[in-house]
Structure 1
Amino acid sequence: MEHKSDEKAKELNNWLPITKSRTAKWWYSAFHNVTAMVGAGVLGLPYAMSQLGWGPGVAVMVLSWIITLYTLWQMVEMHEMVPGKRFDRYHELGQHAFGEKLGLWIVVPQQLMVEVGVNIVYMITGGNCLKKFHDTVCPDCKDIKTTYFIMIFASVHFILSHLPSFNSIAGVSLAAAVMSLSYSTIAWVASAHKGVQPDVDYGPTAATTTGRVFHFFGALGDVAFAFAGHNVVLEIQASIPSTPERPSKKPMWKGVIVAYVVVALCYFPVALIGYWVFGNKVEDNVLLSLEKPGWLVAAANMFVVIHVIGSYQVFAMPVFDMVESFFVTKLHFEPSRILSFCVRTFYVALTMFLAMTFPFFGGLLSFFGGFAFAPTTYFLPCIIWLAIYKPRKFSLSWFANWVCIVLGVVLMILGPIGGLRQIILQAKDYNFYS
């Protein structure tokens, strides 16, 4: 009976998109991680800096880079901690640490919030950047609503979402990774070329202490959103072949190091130069603060569109895997192309609808960044590490993990408060019919 169950699980794994193909190379890890990490969040970093100020802003950025690299290393290490077994999905690692049921309840809701949240934000980002591209190259054309551009962006995913496995989106992810480096470079180079604005002001934007506090909280959520690749790292590693002599963690970690160098090259120049040039008048998407040269702004926005197409797929693939697995194991559907087609088409339609309904880029960054991204990125890997390895109290490992946990909890509590307030303010000013 147990042998039959194992065979069924193996067949299911061979059908599901995460474990369908295990032929990835180390450079797949590099560009998948760049695509997952460097997304819409990088464009909001100058705005986050404007709310945090120079000192706290730089400190939060540097700490976030170090902490998330450390927690990502933990996840790579834990992927094959049990000899002969691979934790191919985040929730499988959670189940190993906390038990079959509790592990699911701890990890799955948070992971789904992150992945669905990212996909909604990327729908908004893609739509906004398409509109900016259209308005830049054709300023005299008739104004078209953002919702139509979101629908145009979504139409690409109604096709790409039916690619069968994580490895099958490698080409899309590579193009996205190249674009992320390109538009980040354009953002800071064009900002530096524009020069510090004559009326630049580095003071707080809010007139009241309450407003400044909420803006500070929201900025913490923006930074948390920017460091968001952990939710798909085990799934990326699952696509790499592994043997006892050459475990998957070696090529995976090589790719992660390359990815984090690229992350630093993208994040720090954009955040620091964008804030230096525009001060507290910078938009929540720094590309919107750049008006000239027109052709460069248009190119940067199109690069963003191509990048978030790839990012959407990287974050959507684990959702497809999770939902399709649920339909087969719990609702007893037969694994089939029809099931995959229906699940994926419905998911793209759902994220498109939510993006059209709540197109508030800045507020959503802060809210999702704090509420969902901080736990799964900053401190859940540390909690799992402590639960499994049980390092000696007050040892370096114990101390490092608790520092990450405390800082992550602070981000998780404060980020959504600022983000929710920003969403409410943006909703008051937004005309749903314009």
Structure 2
Amino acid sequence: MTAAASALIPPLGDPAAFVLDETVKGMPPGVAPFPIGAIGEKGWNLLAEDLPLPLAVLKRSALDHNLDWMARFVGDAGAVLAPHGKTTMAPGLFREQVEHGAWAITVGTIHQAIVARRNGVRRVLLANQLIGRQAVRGALDMLRQDPGFELLALVDSVASVELLAKAAAADPIGRPLPLLLEMGYAGGRTGCRNAETALAVARAVKAAEPYLELRGVEGFEGLVAGKTIEECADQVHAFLRRMVAMAAATEAGGLFADGPIILSAGGSAFYDIVVDRFRRAGLHREVLLVSRSGCYVSHDSLMYRDFFAAVRGRAPLVDRLGPGLRPAMEVWAYVQSRPEPGKVILTMGQRDVGVTGGLPQAQSWYRPGADGAPGELGPEHAVTGLNDQHCHMTVPVGSPLQVGDLVGFGVSHPCVTFDKWQVLPVVDDAYQVVGAYRTFF
């Protein structure tokens, strides 16, 4: 980047320098301002009540395991990883994912792309249509000002191609804007619904050279509908076959730009099916298989846990990689009331934990001042609902829980819990705070 460009787009600075104080959710009252990078020096421990609850934390051992596991999975599968950064919006985790070999970071908006780039990510996959004057201008500006930065976006209509081509021709960046042809399915989100539309879009991109170029075919299989995981998997197979057929037709028409043909899909449920099908694409040119699983880094205690069990059943490769993904995220709360023999109320609500993948699951409990590790809670301790700041949980009449006890919950679909927290402390297995991540939602 030139000096002038650097002045126009300053870096965000050292992420460890972000200042925390008592106004940041999860920090103790009265704490003097300090840089986030120094949080591990505080000597804080969650079980010692050094931090107020509710509190979402990430376990260091599980994060390290998951980062290593997925790097080995995609490497053995002959693919590369472009994990969904929008899952965490935590540049500290982006950095660790890149250090573990991630080819790119995937985002969903221009804001997320800017955050990734300003935090040192050199290749971003915008898995969405690049639409609107400000978003298009922002993308073109980043590419113009930073020749070493790559940004790929999606197209699924001739109208979208024409808008991008007009903008790029009016304000040239000195290189083509790389695009991926997005395939979709009935009832899904964006993406071409049939081959005729897709070929028309690909031809429109070809006609817009040298301002645009087509680098590959993309799709998102994560929202296919089925009554069972097996039914969903069958539909994923069918969708991927359509993607591969479209890539073959586009290649036969000479519509791709030079270089490897990118085939990209992969949410956090069917990434094994994706890499297996793309590996057998049968194209004539070199193919770059890009998986985009994002939730693997934190995993979860419900939805993706069940999906991973299905992955293990489908893919023998998984067993060769040893113990599978582990849930890294927990949300802790106090028992604040036991108004009925079979019910407790806890200090956690929808402002603290997401519910789109299912209600949080009580897993462990701890009485302040006790010796030893937290005890386990069985399924008879069941969350039945959440208000803004309260959690309703049914318990057995003989439950040991008392007012003032700490309860740790596993979450489902971690994306919608990450976005509740500006800062997430990282803890070791004894719940000693060893670090923290800042998020940019």
TM bin, normalised by shorter chain, reads under 0.3
TM-score by length of 1: 0.28
> Which structure features the higher share of helix residues?
1
Larger radius of gyration, structure 1 or 2?
Answer: 2
TM-score by length of 2: 0.27
Larger RCO: 1 or 2 (CA < 8 Å, sep 6+): 1
> Which structure features the higher share of strand residues?
2
